[in-house]
Structure 1
Amino acid sequence: MPYPEGHKLKVRKHIITSAAKAFRTKGVRNISLPYIMKGAGLTHGGFYSHFENKEQLVIEACHFAINDTIELLQKVADKSKDQPQIQSVIEFYLSSVHRDQTEIGCILPTLSGEISQLSEEVRQAYTRELQRFMKFISDMAGVDASTGYALVNSMVGTVALARAVSDPKLSDDLLLAGKNQAKRIIEASIG
């Protein structure tokens, strides 16, 4: 019996969603294809009917994860009533909720440490997604590209460090320092 129309695309999306969740949590090299497929409710054998290789999946999962993060941050910004939208985005991005919920958080802090060791094709895709995220943040903040780069560097670096340390108080202190620095970057660009 044939599958219904759109079935293959639906399955592919489940695989990408599972991969994005796994890569956000543990990075690329620590995740196996069977783990991703299990997360999608599928067997490992079906992987190659959807993707040529793991690299192709990494590229598509990274794009998916950045779309997801931008959509989430746009929702946070849209709810902002008593402060500029970028301030709400900074507050959320550098929060303990975002730090602790890696499976739905931004993929950039998780992959930034290992991406340079992956293939050139994956690095190019990561670069495109980082540029897209930097443009989103720059536009949201109403700042030039250079200031947007500094802001994203501060935000992503803060989350990466806050997730890496074993001391909960230090992690919270890093988030607070990162928020203050991000806000100073915005204030300096205005004044």
Structure 2
Amino acid sequence: MSYTQTHKMKVREKIVGSAADAFRKKGIKEVSVPQIMKGAGLTHGGFYAHFANKDQLVAETCRKAIGETIALLKSVADHKEDDSKIQTVIDYYLSTTRRDKLEKSCILPTLSSEISRSSEEIRQTFTEEFTRFISFISGMVGNNDQKSMAIICVMVGSLLLARSVNNAELSQNILDASKLYSKALVFIKTSS
């Protein structure tokens, strides 16, 4: 790969990284291309040398951000015995750190409501990456996609609600209750 191609890929990665941080904090609609480019240390004029439009950037950012969440949770789980991997993931995901540090947290709670009203390109990429997340969690719960989806839905919804309320005690109670009941889902017998 030539220097020019390598350099262009590095710049593109900086743009996607800036977008991921910004989208996690503010969502898609509240973040402009010039803000993303500024966050990457670039001028907004160079954006179209890397992306056809903002939708393409959003799709690529979803791929990167969900991939980062999976990699992070995998690294947390890898240090545990098989039986406790999912419990460790649940504890980590539903922590006050994940709730409060938006720019480094999972993108699913922030973007899901916006994605549902986004372009087909964005929704397709989001669906592919969400499916990959389901498979990752499923591997820790006996390859049961139904359990995996239920656990993910509880975790994502709980993080969203814990961030939304303006009462610190209620927010913590949401996280604590969600940890307890997410872990209980692991042990529910299913017919599938």
Provide the residue aligned with 1:26 in structure 2. Answer: 26
SS where residue 42 of structure 2 aligns? Answer: coil
Runs of 5+ consecutive residues of structure 2 not aligned to the other structure: none
1:135-154 matches, within 5 Å, as 135-154=135-154
Provide the residue aligned with 1:85 in structure 2. Answer: 85
Q: Normalising by the residue count of structure 1, what TM-score does the alignment of the two structures yield?
A: 0.93
Give RMSD over aligned pairs: 1.8
Report if the CA contact (8 A) 1:116-1:123 is conserved. yes
Provide the residue aligned with 1:76 in structure 2. Answer: 76
The number of residues matched between the two structures is 189
Provide the residue aligned with 1:159 in structure 2. Answer: 159
Report if the CA contact (8 A) 1:143-1:189 is conserved. no
Provide the residue aligned with 1:125 in structure 2. Answer: 125
Provide the residue aligned with 2:37 in structure 1. Answer: 37
Provide the residue aligned with 1:63 in structure 2. Answer: 63
Report if the CA contact (8 A) 1:94-1:179 is conserved. yes
Shift of 1:118: 1.2
Provide the residue aligned with 1:108 in structure 2. Answer: 108
Report if the CA contact (8 A) 2:115-2:123 is conserved. yes
Shift of 1:131: 1.0
Provide the residue aligned with 2:8 in structure 1. Answer: 8
Shift of 1:140: 2.1
Runs of 5+ consecutive residues of structure 1 not aligned to the other structure: none
Counterpart CA distance in 2 for 1:135 and 1:81 is: 19
SS where residue 69 of structure 1 aligns? Answer: helix
Shift of 1:124: 1.6
C-alpha distance after superposition, 1:65-124 (max 9, x if no partner): 011111110111012259611110000001101111111111011011211111122112
The aligned amino acid for 2:152 is V
Counterpart CA distance in 2 for 1:134 and 1:4 is: 37
Provide the residue aligned with 1:98 in structure 2. Answer: 98
SS where residue 131 of structure 1 aligns? Answer: helix
Provide the residue aligned with 1:177 in structure 2. Answer: 177
Counterpart CA distance in 2 for 1:145 and 1:83 is: 17
1:45-60 matches, within 5 Å, as 45-60=45-60
Q: Which runs of 4+ in 1 moved over 6 A?
A: none
Shift of 1:129: 1.2
Report if the CA contact (8 A) 1:94-1:175 is conserved. yes
Counterpart CA distance in 1 for 2:55 and 2:5 is: 27
Q: Normalising by the residue count of structure 2, what TM-score does the alignment of the two structures yield?
A: 0.93
The aligned amino acid for 2:57 is L
SS where residue 51 of structure 2 aligns? Answer: coil
Report if the CA contact (8 A) 2:108-2:156 is conserved. yes
